[in-house]
Amino acid sequence: MELPRNPSPDEPLSAEQMRMLGEIGFFAANHGDLVRAEEIFQSLLVLRPNRDFPYLGLGITFLNGGRVQEAVSILERGQTMVPDSVDLCVFLAMALRASQRNAEANKLLTETLAAHREDTPTLRLAKQLLAS
């Protein structure tokens, strides 16, 4: 399978190539290949620092590896870079809970749910986390 070429010389990878690498990174993170997942997401972060998925991928990778404080740090950084990302807010709340910062997590979840009324899987997860 040939990967599509990006017509812009300023962008080394096309959107489709970025999506594919992100999927591979999430697969690696969720199947225990944390070293490769981290390498992929660190590279994607260099290429797309204003998108949420590299921060999410690194946060999930760190959480899966028991590196809770690193997960909190990268997700907080992501939230600063991409403040409108509901996914970053909810995964940051999960990382805060994992680091025993429950009051901060609950505040973040409450604020996120108050600001977003749509019904999405991430917001349903936020509701479940807040209820638990």
Q: What is the domain-level CATH number for residue 76?
A: 1.25.40.10
Tell me whether residue 1 is in a domain.
Answer: no
Domain ranges, residue 24: 15-131
How many domains is the chain partitioned into structurally? 1
Higher per-residue confidence, 71 vs 5: 71
- Residues 105-125 as b/e (b if ≥16 CB within 10 A, e otherwise) read beebbeebbeeeeeeeebbeb
Tell me whether residue 97 is in a domain.
Answer: yes
Tell me whether residue 8 is in a domain.
Answer: no
pLDDT tens per residue across span 65-114:
999 999 999 999 999 999 999 999 999 999 999 999 999 999 999 999 99
pLDDT tier for residue 9 given thresholds of 50, 70 and 90: low
Mean pLDDT of the chain: 92
Q: Is the pLDDT of residue 5 over 60?
A: no
Specify the pLDDT at position 46. Answer: 93
pLDDT tens per residue across span 12-59:
788 899 999 999 999 999 999 999 999 999 999 999 999 999 999 999
Specify the pLDDT at position 66. Answer: 96
Specify the pLDDT at position 2. Answer: 54
pLDDT tens per residue across span 96-107:
999 999 999 999
Q: What is the DSSP letter of 5?
A: P
Tell me whether residue 5 is in a domain.
Answer: no
Q: What is the DSSP letter of 90?
A: H
